[in-house]
Every structure is written in structure tokens, then in C-alpha cells.
Amino acid sequence: MTTTIQIVLDKNLLKAADIAAKQQHVNRSALIREALQRHLKHLHELQLEEQDRKGYRTKPQREKEYRIWEEAAAPLDEVCAALQFALGC
């Protein structure tokens, strides 16, 4: 279900939104809806990251808990470096 709302936008922001909507082949409402959904998702991710930080501050990991993952990731770092070299990145 959708609801129609009214918002106030600065002229320049409205013009930029209209240009972006045209480039994306969507209407203004769809553009704003998608932007709001992305922003809300981003805020949720920031909230989850903050919860993780608080958890680790409360109960920090011991070296033996993370060392195994660092060792497992080391070969991947070498593969990534080789790919970057091969691709000229």
C-alpha cells in the first residue's frame, strides 16, 4: 500500500532529482522512494555496526579467537594481490 505525502524541496535539489529520475528512466516518486530506502538501509547498517563495536568494547576478542581467521585470510590476500597485478589495478 502506498500513501501520498507532500514534501518541501529546495529548487536545486528538485531540479537535480528530476534530472536523475530522467537519467534512470523512473519518475520522481520512484527515485525519491529508492533513495529513502537506501538511506534507511544505510542507517540500519550503521546501527548494527555500532552494536558490534559496543559488544567488542564490552567483551574484546582474545588473540586466539581471531588469529585463526587472519591466518585463513592470508592466502586470499596473496590471491587478491596477484589478481590486481594481473589486471593492472
pTM higher than the cut 0.85: no
Residue 69's identity, in one-letter code, is W
Cell of 64: 586466539
For 1-48, write each residue's pLDDT tens digit. 889 999 999 999 999 999 999 999 999 999 999 999 999 999 999 999
**Half-sphere exposure in the Cβ direction for 80 (13 Å, CA):** 5
pLDDT digit string, tens, across residues 36-85: 999 999 999 999 999 999 998 888 778 888 777 777 777 777 778 888 88
Residues 6 or more apart from 9 whose CB is under 8 A from it?
17
The b-or-e profile of 47-83 (16+ CB within 10 A means b, else e) is eeeeeeeeeeeeeeeeeeeeeeeeeeeeeeeeeeeee
